[in-house]
Structure 1
Amino acid sequence: MSRPPHIIVLPGGGYWRHADHERAPVIEWLESLGLEASELLYPVKTQHPAPLDAVRARVDELRARGVERLGIIGFSAGGHLAGHAAVSGLVDAAILCYPVVSMETETHADSQRWLAGENAADERRRALSIDRLVTAAMPPTFVWHTAEDASVRVEHAYRLGAALAEHEVPHALHVYPHGRHGLGLAHGEGAAARWSEECAGWLRELGWVN
């Protein structure tokens, strides 16, 4: 009997910390779907490529253990890192929750400063913007955001959605009308609370959950 798919969990935190509510509760939710899951506390307060290198090492470790279907889920800055892993061909599916996508916009300053460096050149910011890196080889991707997010504006999700559509990458994009940044599983947060159910349905369509 083949083992279930494995999902790597990347919490947010602006590339300077790891948000606790986007760690264990997310793993519990994924395991409730019959998936394997583990968190990765990637390096923070350090510039690219250190965080991506940490993901690459975890991926290599899991592949060596026999994991065939490997996905990744990330929140905010962790969503940026998950997206970077996806465009780099490291995983077979990606779930990006209110992700930082572009390093060229005015938001999210913390993520830009820590990952790209203080006063990074335009070329470096462009090279670290996920929407600029999407190709037709990117795996199926699920993205959700809220229209009211004031920290990582919904523009990030729209930029990514446009890039995914342009390259005909299978994807789902959900934008909920209300909700602050950093909702995590978003229990009790109105329409945004549906994201985990809709994501489970998307995973079901991929054949990853029953």
Structure 2
Amino acid sequence: MNTQKLLYKNVEFNIDTYWLDPISDFTSEVKHPLVIIFPGGGFTFHSDREAQPIALKFAAEGIHAIVLHYKLINDGKPVYPLSLQETAVTLNWIKSQAGRHQIDLNKVFLIGFSAGGHIVANYNSLMTDPETRQEVFDEPIEVEPCATILSYSVIDLTMGYPDDIDESRKISPNMLYWQTQEHLNKYSKPTFIWQTVSDETVPVMNSIIYAQKMDLLNLPYELHLFATGRHGLSLATHITEDPGEGSYVNYSDAKWWSMCLNWLKLQRVLPV
């Protein structure tokens, strides 16, 4: 893993890169897909449980991975629009690395967990629409994500998380960024969604309303709701278990990973 500093209009942010090295035995170049990971953390920190462990799982499947340390509210400034601008800058930077690291630019996708999922969902709505994109980022974006993955994601800031309207205003005083489902459009990308019905932090209706809106727009999606399991499961195995907190292990919910890989095959991101 290497940390790379990027800039958006003199605002610095970090990404962690997990590059796959070329296999010297191969007689021809192999280009790999790439995933950008947005960890959760309630917009106040980036959860390590949803960063490196996820990156390494994708790497084991032949996918380059980047963990994006997006804008938080710790300095008293809102998350939006800077987090979306940081995402756009990261996508443009990826193009500059495509030759060096053998990246398949047609197979770049985003995955978000909890609060990080809100940023991914907003990107899939506001940043796929040419008109609203111009309001957020006034430069060309060189790489278009082909798909998104939402893991127990915050979708609508008025639907249970945060539970205080003032906290929603800290995330963004502009309500344009609150309800990600409302800005889905014909250009939005196929999405894999999973959550547990018993999620005690982000109500499961967040995932349901997003899938419902995609369905109304005839956008491709796959939705999996597991009966039980706490918020923040990550891989839901011992790999991401907080020591002494067995509630982070749920091998039924852990099936989301194999389901997600199968879906990536359906999207032609991974070979069938």
Note if contact 2:198-2:229 (Cα within 8 Å) is conserved in structure 1. yes
Q: Does 1:25 align with 2:53?
A: yes
- TM-score between the two structures when normalised by the length of structure 1: 0.91
Classify 1:18/1:109 alpha carbon distance in 2 versus 1 (closer, same or farther; 3 Å).
farther
User: In 1, are the aligned partners of 2:159 and 2:203 still within 8 Å (CA)?
Assistant: no
CA distance in 2, matches of 1:91, 1:190: 30
Instruction: List structure 1 segments (4+ residues) > 4 angstroms apart after TM superposition.
Output: none
Equivalent pair of 1:79/1:97 in contact (CA under 8 Å): yes
Higher strand share: 2
Structure with the larger helix share? 1
* Superposition pairs of residues 187-206 of structure 1, within 5 angstroms: 187=237, 188-206=249-267
Secondary structure in 2 aligned to 1:13?
Answer: coil
Q: Give the CA deviation at 1:125.
A: 3.1
* Structure 1 alignment gaps of length 5 or more: 118-123
Task: Tell me which of the two structures has the higher relative contact order, counting C-alpha pairs closer than 8 angstroms and 6 or more residues apart.
Answer: 1
1:161 partner letter = A
Q: Distance in 1 between matches of 2:200 and 2:110?
A: 25
Given candidates 144, 147, 165, the residue that maps to 1:93 is 147
Q: Is the 8 A contact 2:108 2:145 kept in 1?
A: yes
Report which of the two structures shows the higher radius of gyration computed on alpha carbons.
2
RMSD: 1.6
How many residue pairs get aligned? The number is: 204
Q: How do residues 1-210 of structure 1 correspond to structure 2 at under 5 angstroms?
A: 1-45=29-73, 46-47=77-78, 48-66=80-98, 67=103, 68=105, 69-87=107-125, 88-89=127-128, 90-109=144-163, 112-117=168-173, 124-125=174-175, 127-187=177-237, 188-210=249-271
Any gaps of 5 or more consecutive residues in structure 2?
Answer: 1-28, 129-143, 238-248
Is residue 71–residue 93 contact of structure 1 (8 Å, CA) maintained in 2? yes
Q: Contact conserved, 1:104 with 1:125, CA < 8 A, in 2?
A: no
Percent identity for Structure 1 against Structure 2: 26
CA shift for structure 1 position 191: 1.9
